[in-house]
């Protein structure tokens, strides 16, 4: 029998094989600390930091840590390795969801005017799973883009642009991990000097908060009318007051929160856990609920109705203290491929199909 301590807010924990597992759900850091000595395995999200400065020690009983997330900067993977604790996460699980969030904010920032968008150039910083998904959407929309990813250039045939070229784009979106060491650190890669020399109309951060200087971005958005879209925050669940107020859309770190992304994240890490402990892997189907929508009033109205970012932004701005509740308790959205649009105006059909909708 394997004892698993798991964040109760990880969806689809029922994928765990019940006959082989004792499940201890937790929510707070105090609960994590209290129950960790009993656990053979620990399952977390980004809200819990698994690092020496946050977890006093790793119990000898603990052999596996899994994060139902694409990112890993909340976990000290090398520390786990030195303590003979295996680690698994879910790379790429939410790439489509984040790309849809970013493309949705771009479309909305320009009031759904696809002709205007085609005259803009987008810069994608980070060309991994999410950056490629976003590029695919932009390409189908007819929006020109360039991409910057020096680490990818070093290990593949990818050839991107310089960061200086990114700064000349009309729209910039970040899709990088947060790293503070190495040849290409991303911590404050968009600092004051970059923001002061950047003419972008829209800057979107749905990756990690530390990659952009929040103070400078907030001042920039408040003084010259440039648009910020902010989903990640340096001191979550506390937000930056000025940036919160001046961002066109300000959301509680939910860009990757779709039913399909969360299912895939849990499925991937549970499969790794089962392999590690020699348990039978689960068999389950990804959630898929097809809905037909009368879209005669246009694509912009449709996405404002079905994507929660618009209402969540309003609620977070009205009550910043609601960050954790908005993030953890708001129903997960469906990705656009689960919707069929009827009677959509012809002018919106290219953009709708690019976002993933079925159009009839």
Of 236, 330, 337, 358, the catalytic one is 236
Return the residue matching tokens 């695919």: 136
208 is annotated as an active-site residue? yes
* 3-class DSSP state of 204: strand
Contact 340, 357 (CB under 8 A): yes
333 is annotated as an active-site residue? no
Start-to-end CA span in the chain (Å)? 51
Of 48, 89, 194, 253, the catalytic one is 253
Of 208, 240, 327, 333, the catalytic one is 208
Contact 233, 209 (CB under 8 A): yes
Maximum Cα interatomic distance, the chain, rounded to a whole number of Å:
62
In SS3 terms, 247-277 reads as CCEECCCCCCCEHHHHHHHHHHHHHHHHHHH
- Name all contacts of 277-280 with Cβ < 8 Å and 24+ positions apart: 277/2, 277/20, 277/40, 277/41, 277/64, 279/2, 279/17, 279/20, 279/21, 280/17, 280/20
Active site (catalytic) residues: 208, 236, 253
């Amino acid at each position: 029998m394997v004892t698993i301590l798991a964040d109760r807010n990880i969806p689809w924990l029922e994928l765990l094989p019940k006959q082989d597992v004792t499940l201890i759900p937790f929510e707070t850091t105090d609960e994590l600390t209290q129950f960790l000595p009993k656990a053979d395995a620990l399952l977390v999200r980004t809200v819990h930091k698994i690092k020496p400065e946050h977890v006093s020690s790793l119990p000898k009983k603990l052999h596996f840590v899994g994060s139902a997330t694409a990112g890993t900067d909340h976990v000290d993977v090398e520390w786990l390795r030195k303590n003979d604790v295996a680690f698994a996460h879910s790379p790429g699980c939410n790439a489509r969801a984040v790309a849809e969030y970013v493309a949705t904010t771009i479309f909305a920032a320009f009031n759904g005017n696809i002709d205007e968008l085609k005259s803009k150039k987008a810069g994608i910083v980070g060309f991994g799973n999410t950056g490629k998904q976003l590029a695919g959407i932009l390409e189908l929309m007819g929006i020109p883009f360039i991409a910057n990813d020096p680490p990818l250039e070093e290990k593949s045939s990818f050839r991107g642009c310089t960061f200086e070229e990114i700064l000349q784009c009309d729209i910039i979106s970040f899709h990088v991990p947060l790293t503070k060491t190495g040849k290409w650190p991303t911590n404050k890669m968009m600092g004051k000097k970059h923001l002061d020399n950047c003419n972008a109309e829209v800057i979107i951060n749905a990756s990690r908060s530390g990659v952009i200087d929040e103070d400078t971005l907030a001042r920039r958005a408040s003084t010259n009318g440039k648009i910020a879209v902010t989903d990640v925050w340096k001191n979550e669940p506390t937000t930056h007051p000025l940036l919160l107020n001046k961002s066109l859309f300000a959301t509680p770190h939910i860009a990757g929160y779709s039913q399909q992304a969360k299912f895939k994240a849990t499925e991937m890490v549970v499969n790794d856990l089962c392999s590690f402990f020699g348990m039978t892997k689960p068999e389950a189907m990804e959630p898929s609920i097809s809905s037909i929508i009368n879209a005669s009033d246009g694509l912009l109205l449709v996405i404002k109705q079905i994507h929660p970012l618009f209402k969540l932004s309003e609620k977070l701005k009205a009550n910043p203290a609601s960050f954790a509740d908005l993030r953890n308790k708001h129903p997960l959205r469906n990705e656009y491929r689960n919707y069929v649009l009827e009677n959509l105006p012809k002018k919106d059909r290219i953009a709708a199909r690019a976002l993933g909708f079925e159009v009839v």
